[in-house]
């Protein structure tokens, strides 16, 4: 074995991190540790998730399947247990994949009793992972336990410990999200996950596979000191949006629906008021808190990377950093992740491959080609010398990592948003749709973005002249040919990437014939 060979895999994912929020990408947010990782690796600037929210997007990441194929379309929709995933695949190579964080994978209910407690939560674990410690929106027993040991008294709703202290000096002037939570930066959920990863790296010799999942910068938007004061809201731009909510709603019936059902600020700031109605100074402060949480995660990732170096594991470890999805952050008057705008689905990707073959791409940026979350699993398997499953919809990024231009590559990014509401039927009743009709599919390249709904009107944006996606050109007769062209591209993509199941296998008089082929 050479000194620089992949023996270990560290797959880091964060939650709700916008793709442009890296200082190396020119953003005001400070991410020095990820910048260093990018300088020693490869950054993908046009990287997109396949779906929202958290659970479905992580399923696409870990199974390399588009939502139209894995059908885990909402938090709570079960994932078919017959699918493989990165954890199950690397076990074939002798790895025991360890999870610190969460995957939000609802279990397949078939074959389980209706009283099984696993059927009462969407916070299940992707099959194949051994749990080191769980920290998610709904479950953080180990972290809460550590907080109690440190003397913190947990509220009845334990996750309310993350909400800032309303009596904190300066809150009245700057807004509630200026307040830090009761715990310090060394006791946060972000520090907790980093500590667990560091302890594992210290104790275990290679080979190993770690999946570290940080909840932040996911709301509530309260950053511990000193991150709560790191960014001056006066220096932060307001979101790009129409002059008022009603004007924004006029773009499309779905956008009107989304804005009418916008989450209360409780998900972001800890009190019940519509997030749309906050004054400008509170909006800027919330964005400042979001950036503070990003810098906190960056610092903790820096600690993890340093632990690899201290343990003489850095040059044996494939490091991948990405996010499940992004965050509207007030753009188009929206907060969260919920639609067709890039703000919800453009995410970061940095890959650091220790091999000598990757030296040619170190410090480079891939900004002319689109990559997708489904590419991560086949990339890892390819670099480990394993053959990606025929289930995979993504494609290995190895050629980019080794400084080579692939012979063929996609010219656009694709994602899907399923907005069904099986429990409340809000969308179904609003639009008189079946649940299966509550879906949109998005295709975007450098020139245009096209959004197709089953029955609602389509959208088309000229990204060269309208990068903020304000003017819908779909009904403009001058753009009819372009709409048709992108609709055809979308149909061809769906036909090409329909779930294979066993369509690549044929039973013959000589036995089983199996064809392996790439779909790009």
Instruction: Look at residue 448 and tell me if it is in a domain.
Output: yes
Instruction: Look at residue 243 and tell me if it is in a domain.
Output: yes
- Dig out the tokens for 44 from the structure: 């993908």
Distances (CA, A) of 342 to 50, 328, 413, 467: 12, 8, 11, 10
Beta strands at 439-444 and 130-134: parallel, antiparallel or unpaired: unpaired
Model pLDDT for residues 106-161, shown as the tens digit of each residue: 999 999 999 999 899 999 999 999 999 999 877 788 999 999 999 999 999 899 99
Helices (H) and strands (E) in the chain, counts: 15, 17
- Dig out the tokens for 212 from the structure: 């570290």
Beta strands at 413-418 and 51-52: parallel, antiparallel or unpaired: parallel
Model pLDDT for residues 223-262, shown as the tens digit of each residue: 999 999 999 999 999 999 999 999 999 999 999 999 998 8
Active-site residue identified among 54, 123, 345, 392: 54
Cis amide bond preceding 220, omega within 30 = yes
Instruction: Look at residue 382 and tell me if it is in a domain.
Output: yes
Taking the C-alpha atoms of residue 436 and residue 459, their distance in angstroms, rounded to an integer, is 20
Model pLDDT for residues 394-439, shown as the tens digit of each residue: 999 999 999 999 999 999 999 999 999 999 999 999 999 999 999 9
pLDDT bucket at 474, cuts 50 / 70 / 90: very high
Model pLDDT for residues 486-495, shown as the tens digit of each residue: 999 999 999 9
Residue spans of alpha helices (H) in 348-387:
376-383
Nearest to 452 by CA among 493, 411, 393: 493
Q: Which pLDDT value is given to residue 156? A: 92
Taking the C-alpha atoms of residue 434 and residue 447, their distance in angstroms, rounded to an integer, is 33
Instruction: Look at residue 288 and tell me if it is in a domain.
Output: yes
Taking the C-alpha atoms of residue 353 and residue 8, their distance in angstroms, rounded to an integer, is 11
Average pLDDT over residues 69-91: 97
Taking the C-alpha atoms of residue 296 and residue 120, their distance in angstroms, rounded to an integer, is 32
Q: How many CB atoms lie within 10 A of CB 225?
A: 15
Contacts of 62 (CB under 8 A, 6+ apart): 85, 86, 87, 103, 126, 377
Beta strands at 8-14 and 317-323: parallel, antiparallel or unpaired: parallel
Number of folded domains that form the chain? 1
- Is 50 exceeded by the pLDDT of residue 2? no
The greatest distance separating any two alpha carbons of the chain, rounded to the nearest whole angstrom, comes to 80
Taking the C-alpha atoms of residue 276 and residue 256, their distance in angstroms, rounded to an integer, is 13
- The whole domain housing 228 covers 8-514
- Is 60 exceeded by the pLDDT of residue 1? no
DSSP, residue by residue, 78-132:
PPPTT---HHHHHHTTT--EEEEE----PPP-TTS-TT-GGGG-S----TTPEEE
In three-state secondary structure terms, 475 is: coil
Instruction: Look at residue 2 and tell me if it is in a domain.
Output: no
Distances (CA, A) of 221 to 140, 180, 266, 482: 18, 9, 10, 40
Instruction: Look at residue 142 and tell me if it is in a domain.
Output: yes
Distances (CA, A) of 48 to 358, 370, 515: 23, 8, 29
Model pLDDT for residues 182-222, shown as the tens digit of each residue: 999 999 999 999 999 999 999 998 899 999 999 999 999 99
Counting beta carbons within 10 angstroms of the beta carbon of residue 484, is it exposed (0 to 12), middle (13 to 18) or buried (19 or more)? exposed
Instruction: Look at residue 156 and tell me if it is in a domain.
Output: yes
For residue 88, the domain's CATH number is: 3.40.720.10
Beta bridge partners of 476: none
- In the annotation, is 54 catalytic? yes
Taking the C-alpha atoms of residue 47 and residue 96, their distance in angstroms, rounded to an integer, is 28
- Is 80 exceeded by the pLDDT of residue 70? yes
Tokens 């948003």 belong to 417
Nearest to 105 by CA among 147, 132, 136, 150: 136
Taking the C-alpha atoms of residue 5 and residue 266, their distance in angstroms, rounded to an integer, is 47
């Amino acid at each position: 074995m050479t000194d620089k060979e992949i023996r270990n895999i560290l797959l880091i994912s964060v939650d709700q991190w916008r793709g442009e929020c890296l200082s190396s990408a020119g953003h005001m947010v400070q991410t020095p540790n990820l910048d260093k990782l990018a300088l020693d690796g490869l950054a993908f600037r046009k990287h997109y998730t396949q779906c929202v929210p958290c659970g479905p997007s992580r399923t696409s990441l870990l199974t390399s399947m588009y939502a139209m194929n894995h059908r885990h379309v909402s938090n709570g929709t079960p994932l078919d247990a017959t699918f493989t995933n990165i954890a199950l695949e690397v076990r074939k190579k002798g790895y025991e994949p360890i999870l610190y964080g969460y995957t939000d994978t609802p279990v397949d209910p078939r074959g389980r009793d209706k009283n099984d407690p696993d059927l009462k939560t969407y916070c299940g674990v992707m099959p194949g992972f051994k749990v080191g410690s769980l920290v998610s929106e709904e479950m953080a027993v180990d972290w809460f336990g550590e907080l109690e040991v440190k003397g913190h008294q947990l509220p009845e709703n334990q996750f309310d410990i993350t909400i800032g202290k309303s009596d904190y000096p300066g809150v009245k002037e700057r807004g509630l999200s200026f307040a830090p939570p009761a715990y310090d930066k060394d006791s946060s959920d972000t520090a907790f996950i980093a500590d667990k990863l560091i302890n594992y790296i210290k104790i275990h010799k290679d080979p190993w596979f770690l999946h570290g999942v940080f909840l932040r910068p996911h709301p509530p938007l309260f950053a511990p000191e000193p991150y709560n004061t790191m960014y001056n809201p006066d220096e932060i731009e307001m979101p790009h949006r129409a002059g008022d909510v009603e004007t924004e709603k006029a773009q499309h019936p779905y956008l009107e629906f989304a804005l009418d059902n916008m989450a209360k600020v409780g998900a972001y700031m800890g009190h019940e008021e519509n997030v749309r109605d906050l004054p400008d100074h509170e909006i800027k402060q919330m964005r400042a808190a979001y950036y503070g949480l990003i810098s906190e995660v960056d610092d903790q990732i820096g600690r993890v990377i340093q632990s690899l170096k201290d343990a003489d594991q850095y040059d044996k470890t494939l490091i991948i950093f990405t996010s499940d999805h992004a965050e509207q952050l007030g753009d188009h008057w929206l907060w969260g992740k919920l639609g067709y705008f890039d703000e919800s689905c453009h995410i970061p990707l940095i890959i650091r491959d220790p091999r000598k073959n990757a030296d040619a791409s170190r410090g480079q940026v891939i900004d002319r080609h689109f990559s997708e979350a489904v590419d991560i699993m086949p990339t890892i398997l390819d670099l480990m010398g394993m053959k990606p499953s025929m289930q995979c919809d993504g494609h290995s990024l190895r050629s980019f990592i080794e400084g080579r231009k692939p012979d063929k590559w996609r010219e656009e990014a694709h994602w899907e948003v399923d907005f069904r509401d099986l429990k409340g039927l809000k969308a179904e009743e609003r639009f008189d749709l079946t649940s299966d009709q509550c879906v949109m599919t998005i295709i975007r390249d450098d020139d245009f973005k096209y959004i197709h709904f089953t029955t609602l009107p389509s959208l088309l944006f000229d990204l060269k002249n309208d990068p903020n996606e304000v003017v819908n050109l779909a009904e403009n007769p001058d753009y009819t040919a372009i709409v048709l062209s992108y609709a055809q591209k979308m149909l061809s993509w769906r036909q090409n990437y329909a779930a294979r199941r066993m369509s690549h296998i044929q039973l013959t008089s000589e036995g089983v014939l199996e064809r392996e082929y790439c779909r790009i």
